[in-house]
Amino acid sequence: MRSALVFGGSGQIGQPLIQRLRAGGWHVTALSRSPQRGDARLRWLSGGFEAMPPLPAQFDAIISAGPLDHFAGWYAGGGVATPRVVAFGSTSLDTKRGSGDPAERGLAGRLKQGEDSVFTTAASRGEAATLLRPTLVYGRGRDASLSRIAALARRTGVFPLPRGARGLRQPVHVEDLADAALACLDAPATHGRAYALPGGETLPYREMVARVLACLQPPARLVELPAPLFAAALWLARRTGRASELGDAAIDRMRQDLVFDAAPAARDFGYAPRPFRPQRAIFARD
């Protein structure tokens, strides 16, 4: 039985990943800072990157579905040997690199440094690393984008967008990401490479939001506002703490196409993500 060490196993990507590893006959050791329930094939260790518990010296694979910068630091520090590393990063590495928001540029920089560090460490140890960069993630009702939109729309019955919010998006389902990580493990073509993992459909931002609103019960209404009116509504929402994390850079990006090519991932490990068909159950937990 092969052994895997999983970081971020309690997360929205990590959970379906662990399910798949177990179904594939792996013995999984996973870390969490919160209590989790394990069994004979899934051992949860209590801790995180700031307080690492003692770990076995070797695994057949290490997978990170948690914060990449923390993982890269831990991996560079050594201590656990493995022939195979698969780590999630983000396409924010590209999309936020030139952002007007310093915090977003900082995130892009940390993602780039994290990727570089993982590849450098792996090369120095003769281990094989693969980096996976999802686009906009959805599927477990815990993401910070579509699930937040759904939660707000359910409370108010409407969701406002600025006119022209038609930049292209490729929302990707967490289960397709979990499949991708699993498929990579046994795909030698992926060694030393990074892959964008977009969803299986490319659609305008407005249409993406409209599909989320349409699947709510009752459905919520999309309202497109002229730029000055939207700015006023946003100012009010920020004043009342309802849109504190929606920065101007994020609003600008609604008009920008953020499109990535799935062909390298399809070629190297059979990546075949589903089209964007959100179901009400996804957002039921908000």
Ligand X SMILES: NC(=O)c1ccc[n+]([C@@H]2O[C@H](COP(=O)([O-])OP(=O)(O)OC[C@H]3O[C@@H](n4cnc5c(N)ncnc54)[C@H](OP(=O)(O)O)[C@@H]3O)[C@@H](O)[C@H]2O)c1
Residue 273 CB burial class (10 angstroms; 0-12, 13-18, ≥19): buried
- The interface mask with ligand X, positions 11-30, x = CB under 6 A, is xxxx----------------
The owner of tokens 């589903």 is: 274
DSSP states of 57-78? SB-SEEEE-S-HHHHHHHHHH-
Residue number with CB closer to ligand X (68 or 187): 68
All residues at 6 or more sequence positions from 282 whose CB lies less than 8 Å from its CB, including other chains: 138, 139, 140, 141, 147, 215
Q: Is 88 in the site for ligand X (CB under 6 A)?
A: yes
Stretch that binds ligand X, among 21-29, 63-71, 151-159, 182-190 (CB under 6 A): 63-71
- Residue 209 C-beta: closest distance to ligand X, Å: 15
- Contact between 14 and 6 under an 8 Å Cβ cutoff? The reply is yes
Q: Is 10 in the site for ligand X (CB under 6 A)?
A: yes
Residue number with CB closer to ligand X (7 or 230): 7
Residue number with CB closer to ligand X (73 or 164): 73
- The C-alpha atoms of residue 207 and residue 211 are separated, in whole angstroms, by 6
Q: Is 65 in the site for ligand X (CB under 6 A)?
A: yes
Residue number with CB closer to ligand X (181 or 210): 181
All residues at 6 or more sequence positions from 247 whose CB lies less than 8 Å from its CB, including other chains: 101, 103, 104
Q: Which of 4, 8, 147, 258 binds ligand X (CB under 6 A)?
A: 8
Positions touching ligand X (CB under 6 A) are: 7-14, 31-34, 48-50, 65-68, 70, 88, 90, 134, 136-137, 142-143
